[in-house]
Amino acid sequence: MLALTERNEEHVIGNVQELNASYLDASAGAGQGGGLQRTSSMIRLASRAAMAESEREIGGHGVTQKERDFKKQLDPKKGYDLSKIYSHYLHRRHLRKSKMVLRYGEIFYLTARQNENHWFEDILAFARYSAMETMIICTNLSEEERTFFVDAQALMPTFKQAYQNNTVVMVKDCLNDQVEPMYYFLREFLELRETKTLRPYRSSVVSLQIINDDQYIFKKCLTNSIDRMKRNLITGESV
């Protein structure tokens, strides 16, 4: 701290000397109708120099230090991180901008269930529907981890009217680019009831994109569907 103070004093003295020279040059030129305007007080000059140097020492003209102080007040157990919060909202804005269905799609409210008899009131689950893509969004609004499946019965009447049972959908996790898209028959996916786990205040965003007239994808989806049926038969789960 002492070394920092001495270094600040040296910089301030240097800045004051430079400002003093400019002041003298301006004073000399003032009588000839040129030069800079005269400054009312050398004390004001020294004060400005000291403030500027102090801002440079703490970095970013004072903003960085204020950010550090604010971060210290946050509870690390809650996972607060200003840079991560910024990245979070930046990604969500970009996602909403790139997906028209998130802006104009019809809203269907869904249910997050633990089982047939129990559903979670503190999980917000809904869908945004359009002819070619549907987004299913779930947010855990509780302070506890939740494991659930999405009951999409509210979508069934609309889907039955718009698509055939063998319509293929590409299911993609919009929040994790590392996960490869999966292909399902639409009705199979809606009745799948695959469980997912969300930590407190976390969300999932899944895209269901309609795939038309692609025989390769259709065959791949059929193969995947048969494999899933075999696994369910082996594990004793419902088919």
pTM: 0.63
Q: Which tens digits make up the pLDDT trace of 74-126? A: 655 555 566 677 777 888 889 999 999 999 999 999 999 998 889 999 999 99
| Confidence category of residue 8, pLDDT binned at 50, 70, 90 | very low
Q: Output the DSSP codes for the chain.
A: -HHHHHHHHHHHHHHHHHHHHHHHHHHHHHTTT-SPPPPS-HHHHHHHHHHHHHHHHHSGGGHHHHHHHHHHHS-GGGT--HHHHHHHHHHHHHHHHH-THHHHSEEEE-EEEEETTEE-TTEEEEEEE-SSEEEEEEEE-SSS-EEEEEE-GGGHHHHHHHS-TT-EEEEEETT-TTSPPEEEEHHHHHTT---EEE-TT-EEEEEEEEE-S-HHHHHHHHHHHHHHHHHHHHHT---
Q: Which tens digits make up the pLDDT trace of 20-50? A: 555 445 445 444 544 444 444 555 555 555 5
Q: Which tens digits make up the pLDDT trace of 124-140? A: 999 999 989 999 999 99
Helix (H, G, I), strand (E, B) or coil at 79: coil
pLDDT value of residue 193: 81
Domains and CATH numbers, the chain: 2-73 (no CATH), 82-235 (2.60.40.1180)
